[in-house]
Amino acid sequence: MSTQTCLDVKQQSAQERRLLGLSAFDRHQWLMKDAIKYYRAQLPPEQQTVKTDFDVLKEQYRFVRSEEDDTSDSWEVRMARRYYAKLFKEYAIADLSRYKESKVGLRWRTEQEVVVGKGQFACGAKSCDERRALASYEVNFAYKEAGEHKQALVKLRLCPRHALQLNHKQNHRLIKKRKREQQDAQHRLGKQPRHSKNTEATTGFADSFETNTSGRGHTQEPDAAQAGNAYDMASGRSKHQREVFDGLFD
């Protein structure tokens, strides 16, 4: 037996073992693909695209099912209804990977996630297991499904880092507003007389003095930290709120 013949036999046996390891449907798909590739076989139009159970479930799944969604009694609707009944809809799991685009993906929890506490006792972000300092949020989730625009109120439990991502757009506006107010406050402070008593009364901190060799004192301009303290006192922000917003610049 020649070397080429031995190689052909080995390749054929490997292909047979691969086919035997497949299910009946996967084996059929494999053989049909080879038939189209090597023998130019033409399948009927209705058989050119075969839908799996997962494809049918994606078509029939609804984030919030209504009576109109269950009017049909086809097997596709029944399968989607059974899957929907197995989900736990008290808290949701969030995909915040595109939070900078103001796009958030939400889904309900599975039984396994409920058992381990994911989304309730652990952060509801998809890839986060933080269990400390969680907070609850009720989100007005607007989404498009089956060609229709829908809305639903959804509860989320998130850690501080992912809570900032969830409210990224609102926080960004507040940060810009805070920067403008700080700049305006510093600008107003720069226009006031150096030894004005109003400066101390309104800003909450006194001008600091340094003595030079000639014995005369000179004022020291307030730094950014002092201006931030003045803003917090004027606006009534707590120290914790300021630390959260300052963390966005780290």
pLDDT > 90? residue 212: no
* Burial of 159 (C-beta count, 10 Å sphere; 0-12/13-18/19+): buried
pLDDT > 50? residue 213: no
pLDDT > 60? residue 66: yes
pLDDT > 90? residue 207: no
- Write down the pLDDT at residue 214: 39
- Write down the pLDDT at residue 6: 52
Closest alpha carbon to 92 in 106, 112, 113, 102:
106
- Write down the pLDDT at residue 137: 93
pLDDT > 50? residue 209: no
pLDDT > 60? residue 194: no
Of 5 and 95, the one with more pLDDT: 95
CA distance 162 to 199: 39
The residue-averaged pLDDT of 220-231 equals 47
- Write down the pLDDT at residue 184: 86
pTM: 0.52
Most confident residue range from 24-28, 171-175, 213-217, 244-248: 171-175
Of 59 and 219, the one with more pLDDT: 59
pLDDT > 90? residue 9: no
Sequence-separated (6 or more) residues with CB below 8 Å from residue 249: none
CA distance 141 to 118: 20
H-helix or E-strand containing 184? helix 168-191
pLDDT > 90? residue 186: no
| Model confidence pLDDT, tens digit, residues 73-116 | 888 888 888 889 888 989 999 999 999 898 899 999 999 999 99
The residue-averaged pLDDT of 201-223 equals 39
- Write down the pLDDT at residue 42: 62
| Model confidence pLDDT, tens digit, residues 147-185 | 889 899 999 999 999 999 998 888 888 888 888 888 888
| Model confidence pLDDT, tens digit, residues 27-54 | 787 777 777 766 655 656 555 566 777 8
- Write down the pLDDT at residue 70: 82
H-helix or E-strand containing 13? helix 3-20
Q: How far is CA 246 from CA 50, 164, 172, in A?
A: 54, 12, 12
Confidence of residue 121 (pLDDT cuts 50, 70, 90): very high
Share of the chain above pLDDT 70, in %: 64
